[in-house]
Amino acid sequence: MTITAAADGSALGNPGPNGWAWYIDDDNWAAGGSPHGTNNQGELQAVLELLRATAGTDESLIIMCDSKYVIDSITKWMPGWKRRGWRKADGGPVLNRDLMESLDEAMQGRDVKFAWVKGHAGHDLNEAADERANAAAKAYQAKREPRRGPGFTMVGVDAGTMVPAGDLASSAAVSAAADQPLWAEASSLLDVFNEPAASPIELQLALTPDEHARLRDRAEAQGISLEEALRRLI
Does 105 lie in the same domain as 11?
Answer: yes
Q: Which domain holds residue 48?
A: 2-141
Q: Which one of the listed residues 37, 42, 43, 49 is annotated catalytic?
A: 43
Q: Which one of the listed residues 8, 210, 217, 220 is annotated catalytic?
A: 8
- Active-site annotation holds for 179: no
Q: Which one of the listed residues 26, 120, 122, 223 is annotated catalytic?
A: 120
- Active-site annotation holds for 120: yes
Q: What is the pTM of this model?
A: 0.69
The number of residues making up the chain comes to 234
Query: 3-class SS at 47?
Result: helix
- Active-site annotation holds for 9: yes
Per-residue pLDDT tens listing for the chain (234 residues): 899 999 999 999 999 999 999 999 999 999 999 999 999 999 999 999 999 999 989 899 999 999 999 999 999 999 999 999 999 999 999 999 999 999 999 999 999 999 999 998 999 999 999 999 999 999 999 999 999 999 999 855 433 333 332 333 333 333 333 344 443 333 333 333 344 445 556 666 777 766 767 677 666 655 567 776 676 565
Q: Which of 92, 116, 141 is the last residue of a domain?
A: 141
* Neighbour-count burial of 100, counting CB atoms closer than 10 A to its CB (0-12 exposed, 13-18 middle, 19+ buried): buried
Query: 3-class SS at 218?
Result: helix
Q: Which of 93, 112, 141 is the last residue of a domain?
A: 141
CATH number of domain containing 98: 3.30.420.10
The set of residues, in sequence order, having a beta carbon less than 8 Å from that of 18 and lying 6+ positions away, is 9, 10, 11, 12, 33, 34, 36, 37, 38, 39, 41, 42, 137, 140
Q: Which one of the listed residues 9, 42, 149, 151 is annotated catalytic?
A: 9
Please check whether residue 153 is in contact with residue 170, taking contact to mean a CB–CB distance below 8 angstroms. Answer: no
Does 194 lie in the same domain as 133?
Answer: no
Q: Which one of the listed residues 49, 130, 210, 220 is annotated catalytic?
A: 130
Does 203 lie in the same domain as 110?
Answer: no
**What is the count of structural domains for the chain?**
2
For residue 156, is it within any domain?
no
Q: Going edge to edge, which strands form the sheet with 16-25?
A: 28-37, 16-25, 2-11, 60-65, 112-116
Q: Which one of the listed residues 66, 210, 217, 220 is annotated catalytic?
A: 66
